Amino acid sequence: MELIKTKDLSKIYISGETETKALRGVTLSIENGEFSVITGPSGSGKTTLFNLIGALDSPTSGMITFDGDDLSKLNRKERTLFRREKIGFVFQTFNLIPVLTAFENVAFPLNLLGISEKEIKKKVYSLLEKVGLKGMEERRPAALSGGQQQRVAVARALIKDPVLVLADEPTANLDSATGGEIMKLMRKLNKEDKITFLFATHDPMVMEYSRRRIKLRDGKITE
């Protein structure tokens, strides 16, 4: 079933008198449960496409639908609530909140959704165990290794049972062994929970794990 569909999607950034065409008519379809990679050199438009799919930004022209809903028609508040409920993000540098423990970082999206404390406790402990962080719930990010921090970030992205997880260079700050473990973990979660994963990366290892590669160059899909 089709989850994301874009048609002639373009995005132009204007800075003073300079016009930058980041995306030039991207037409793309992503199915539910995919484990795909968007790849391409720097400046190819990966991040821009990610921002539009994740409703962090709106397109200059073209259409983008998510589960049949036209994202370009959502106002700011609606986009925020859409992200809150449906999208999980995994960032390149983990982006954990340093003053919160691993437990609290993972619980963060559930707090935004207004889930009860009891439910949060149950879900967070279970997921932290699933990503291999049992016993580290009360540790703050500074007391965790890079791989452990990224596991927390993955758990945080998955805790609300999102429809889509957007992971930007999730292995960039990890050694290859740890990066491999993180990819295995995400692949396992994709298989078990049927969550759609979309990556933006240069990392060949991430590409190896993916089932589909979407190549971007100069704002256009080339492959």
Partner 1 sequence: MKFLFKLGFKNLLRYKERTFLTCLSLAIGVCILLFFNGMLEWADDASIRNLKKYETASMKIGNSEFFEEENYIPVDEVIRGRKKIEKILEEKGLEYTPEIKFKASLINEVTGDSYPFFGMGIEAESHRKVYDLYEMVYEGSLPENGNEILISKNTAELLDVGIGDYLIVETDTKTGAHNADAFKITALFETPNPEVNKNFFYISIDAANTLLAMGGDITLISIKTEEKAETLSREIKKEIGDIEGVTVKTWGELAQDYMDIREGKRGGTSMMLMMTFIIIAVGIANTMNMAVFERTGETGMMRAMGMTNREIILNFIFESGGLGLMGGIMGLVLGAIVTWYLIQYGWDMSNYVGDISYGYRVSAVFRSKWDFGMMITAVIFTTVSASFISIFPARRALKRSIAETLKSAGKFG
Yes or no: say if 93 and 150 are a contact pair by the CB < 8 Å rule.
Answer: no
Binding site for partner 1 (CB under 8 A): 46-48, 50-51, 54, 56-57, 76-77, 80-85, 87, 89, 91-93, 95, 97-100, 108-109, 111-112, 168, 200
Q: What's the sign of the alpha-carbon dihedral 194, 160, 79, 59?
A: negative
Least Å from the CB of residue 197 to partner 1: 16
Q: What's the sign of the alpha-carbon dihedral 74, 77, 82, 87?
A: positive
Of 72 and 92, which has the nearer Cβ to partner 1?
92
Of 76 and 118, which has the nearer Cβ to partner 1?
76
Least Å from the CB of residue 162 to partner 1: 10
CA angle centred on 83, ends 108 and 97, rounded to 5°: 30
Give the integer Cα–Cα distance in Å for 76 and 188.
34
Of 31 and 61, which has the nearer Cβ to partner 1?
61
Give the integer Cα–Cα distance in Å for 156 and 130.
12
Least Å from the CB of residue 94 to partner 1: 9
Of 100 and 184, which has the nearer Cβ to partner 1?
100
Least Å from the CB of residue 167 to partner 1: 10
Q: DSSP state, 36?
A: E
